[in-house]
Amino acid sequence: MDESGLNQSSKKHKLNEEQGIVDGNTKCLENLPEEILRYIISLLPTNDAVRTSILCKRWEYLWTSIPNLGFKIGSKAKRKLFMNFVERVLLLHDSSDIKQFILYCDVLHDGDASRIKAWISSAVRHNVQELVFKLNISEEQFSLPHCLFTCVTLTKLRFYIPCVLKLPPTIYFTNLKILSVRNVTFSDDHSTQKLFSGLPVLEEMFLVDCIWVNLTAVSISSPKLHCLVIIDDEENSNDEDGCQVMIFGPGLKTFTYYGPLCNDYCLYNSCSLERVVINFDPRKTARQVAYRMYRLLSGLSTVKKLKLSSGAVEGIDLSVNCKNADAILDPVPPCFLSHLRCIKVYCCAEVQNQLLHPLVGQVLEVLSFRFSCLFLNLPFLAGRLRVHCSGITSTLMRPEG
């Protein structure tokens, strides 16, 4: 059992206590102590928990201490019922902490927005630890209550807000460990930088399908960040210069990127980085993109495992070709010379041949630069490679060391 729950219920049972001596009533759960009933209710989804108020008068307010509140709107026809329900639950909730607050709903007009902000504020005032919102906004911009951005108890924050998110002047998440931002349009360099700078203990960050067009340069530099995932949507990429995203991750262990490299992502000081996945689909192959690919690879100094999509392989190839005519990564990104033990390439069946040929040529160059192991999950190529790089590695799937 976790830290909450029944701890408070462990009162000593005395044998001489005249409680519920066996009679016809043994199986009447009404005899259970109130804290156990509350605990059972707290394990139910919010709707079920609130429904227990109708069982009988004794149960009317038992649910009001539930720590986890989840509200997801189903059909739009019942919208009014839903909104009233959320409000009622928050109003009746007692002063005990709200551990988790999940809200999925539509924001149709200003009235909705202010109600929803009040709900979020209410959760913050109840020392919320985990917040999850999926707000379908019809307006062009939205803001969250300012108190959220300095919430001391918050450890996990995930939101999907598909519009411009206006941020407050002060942002400092003392205890936030996980941040997931989806479909948000960042409004400007200054406020976005404030957000990225106000995360002193952040460990995991997910930036998914965000729109960066309003930004020119930001940096991500949480000292404890160990997992960073950035996913860019092809449609949101701007053809212009893109944003320069500088990632200072002294504690970063894994970095995952999916998307068209519409921004210039660069890793600095990433001396703990071990695993990198680059899933890059260069439909618009351009010099610019190839250069970004090269820059990204250059920041990977200590990577041991690199997983590349066929597009990313093509990106390497392009970056090589536009770098110099000799088709060598020059200077070779540092990980290729020192730490890299495993490259994994995954390809679509149809294109793999054409795409891998240049890679194999390329990798062989690199192999001669001290690869201790090369892993390609393509048996037809394996034979070929062995011929070319015998003497360096006899087996193509060899673990590190």
Give whichever of 43 and 348 is closer to other proteins, judged by the CB atom. Answer: 43
Q: Which listed range, 46-54, 184-192, 235-243, 372-380, lies at the site for other proteins (CB under 8 A)? A: 46-54
Residue 74 near other proteins by CB under 8 A: yes
CB of 57 to other proteins, least distance (A): 5
Give whichever of 226 and 292 is closer to other proteins, judged by the CB atom. Answer: 226
> Can you tell me which of 3, 13, 387, 401 binds other proteins, judged by CB under 8 A?
13
> Can you tell me which of 8, 34, 78, 353 binds other proteins, judged by CB under 8 A?
78
- 319 C-beta neighbours (distance < 10 Å), count: 22
Residue 8 near other proteins by CB under 8 A: no
Specify the DSSP element, H or E, that contains 51: helix 46-51
Residue 76 near other proteins by CB under 8 A: no
The torsion angles phi and psi of 310, rounded to 5 degrees, stand at -60, -35
Residue 31 near other proteins by CB under 8 A: yes
Q: By CB under 8 A, how many residues form the interface with other proteins?
A: 44
- Which long-range contacts does 331-334 make (Cβ < 8 Å, 24+ apart)? 332/366, 332/369, 333/294, 333/297, 333/298, 333/299, 333/300, 334/298, 334/300, 334/301
Residue 102 near other proteins by CB under 8 A: no
CB of 81 to other proteins, least distance (A): 4
Residue that the structure tokens 């919208």 belong to: 79
CB of 375 to other proteins, least distance (A): 22
Q: Which listed range, 78-86, 96-104, 289-297, 329-337, lies at the site for other proteins (CB under 8 A)? A: 78-86
Residue 152 near other proteins by CB under 8 A: no
- 289 C-beta neighbours (distance < 10 Å), count: 25
Strand order in the sheet with 217-220: 217-220, 244-248, 264-268
d(CA 194, CA 101) in angstroms, rounded, equals: 25
> Can you tell me which of 3, 54, 109, 140 binds other proteins, judged by CB under 8 A?
54
d(CA 3, CA 1) in angstroms, rounded, equals: 7
Residue 104 near other proteins by CB under 8 A: no
β-bridge mates for residue 256, sequence order: 229, 277
